[in-house]
Amino acid sequence: MLRRLLFTLSLFVVFNCAWAQLKTPRQLFPGLFETVQLSDIFPDNKTFVDATAKRDPVLIMKDYNDQKDKAGFDLKQFVLDNFTIPGTHNDVFKSDIQAGIRKHIDTLWQVLYRKHDTVSKYSSLLPVPNDFVVPGGRFRETYYWDSYFTMLGLQESHKTKIIQNMIGNFAYLLDTYGFIPNGIRTYYLTRSQPPFFSMMLDILAKDEGNKIYTQYQPELLKEYTFWMRGHEKLGPGQAFRNSVRMQDGEIMNRYWDESDLPREESFKKDVNAAKNTKEAPGEFYRNIRAAAESGWDFSTRWMDTTGKLETIETTLIIPVDLNCLLYHLEMTIAKSYSIQGDEAKYKYYLAKAVARKKAIQKYCWSPREGWFMDYNWKEKHTTTHVSLAGVFPLEFKIADAKQAARVAAKLKANFFKAGGLVTTLERSGQQWDSPNAWAPLQYIAIDGLNNYGDYKLARSIAENWVRTNIGVFNSTGKLMEKYNVIDTDVKAGGGEYPLQDGFGWTNGVLLNLLNHYHIDQL
């Protein structure tokens, strides 16, 4: 017993020391990092932070400091000499439109598949124990919430082993770092993403049974601990990291990032954007990073009534979708204890879920809008921006029948377009606003409508979305990260980078809908 305890403690020390010693590109290459990212030698700031040093960073920095002020110094050539620049799957893959969409998706699983044991010690990639699937394009690593929607398609393709491996990686990240990072890069170790781990277990349980919930119970609890850190000590109207105590004492959650510096992967854009804000730089950067944790980077839902990026106030907002996901996490933990026959802990976590459900109803439902809204916990009112996040209470059966009917009516009247569902009702130029649409939100809306028996509208949305995906594929040979669903002949725009193709969650949701609705011809 003592031996086992010592072994466990040694692992704890190793993991925590390993995390403490991990350095991001900015920490490894001070001065060089800023110079490269503020220059335009790479159009995308993510290129350099994903590059792999060819030798010891200490030696690279010594040479850089020795050479940088000398006449004729070529910054780009220095970087090319000392770093391996990453490519994408697009460099080698050519799609076959004639083979059809299903064959294309099946081939993409191979294209997007990555071996876990090829990480260089000088890479920003975090090591994981199993192989995995990446989203595609500039996203060369595992991303947290993307993976759930990718798994929907992997299950349709009967690739249970890959799902097991990816869930195993997320469990490893929880055991090693105490949370699941935004993505498996050192520069993502300050934040997570929407907590879909418990939802992933629902997917795997369909193939493996309920033993999955008890097998991963320790990791479910670690995920919960991360999101709830410090909530016990909060008074009404106070917040700490991801936890907020509401004015009447309820605990709800927000997005947060441990850092208040510019994002390394978008350094120049953040530095330039900060010049236009009235917020203190650290506050602005934290709000930008918190929005990145949400996955909705960026949308007017995080901004004041003007919808301008410089007014971003993510940390003041209680997001309805995040709290629905944490309700599911609480219910899943309760379920894991019920399976074990632990009645006391089952009731404990069930009570937390019930309390959160009541809080979502209380703070996020807007009778005037007929919609579930985000809530500004400082100003004590719902925000002014109506977004597709309002369908999450249908996905998790938090809405009552009358609320679900009003949401469905508004969805049909305001969000439903020729190509699918727009993300918000505002055209701001941000990628998570109109006219853009994203696969994960289509799926949540469709599944949520089905939960309340609105099968006709759910099918209509699914058919329009599938038609959009197939139309773009037939004209380009690609499946995109996002789509313009109002002007369906126009590529989706906005965002901090060019339109990406691949694309993990688009493939997953599309294949799920094709099979669920038996769609082969439209």
Catalytic residue list: 297, 481
Indicate the helix (H) or strand (E) that contains 460: helix 455-476
DSSP 139: B
Cα angle for residues 45, 89, 470 (degrees, 5° grid): 105
Beta carbons within 8 Å of 510's beta carbon, 6+ residues apart: 101, 105, 153, 439, 465, 466, 469, 479
Give dist(CA 26, CA 186) in Å, integer.
10
Please state whether 190 falls in left (phi above 0), alpha (psi between -120 and 50) or beta. alpha
Give dist(CA 166, CA 154) in Å, integer.
11
Please state whether 341 falls in left (phi above 0), alpha (psi between -120 and 50) or beta. left
Q: Which of 332, 336, 330 is nearest to 352 (CA)?
A: 330
Sheet arrangement for strand 375-376:
317-318, 375-376, 381-382
Give dist(CA 143, CA 139) in Å, integer.
8
Give dist(CA 356, CA 15) in Å, integer.
33
Residue reference for tokens 């990092």: 33
Structure tokens at 409: 């009516």
Give dist(CA 241, CA 228) in Å, integer.
8
Indicate the helix (H) or strand (E) that contains 132: strand 132-133
Q: From the CA atom positions of the chain, what is the Rg in Å?
A: 23
Looking at the DSSP bridge assignments, the partners of residue 84 are 52
Residue reference for tokens 């460099």: 91
Q: Is residue 214 within 8 Å of residue 339, measured between CB atoms?
A: yes
What is the three-class DSSP state of 231? helix
CA 411 to chain centre: 23
Structure tokens at 228: 């709830």
Please report, as a single letter, which amino acid is at residue 462.
A
Structure tokens at 340: 């074990």
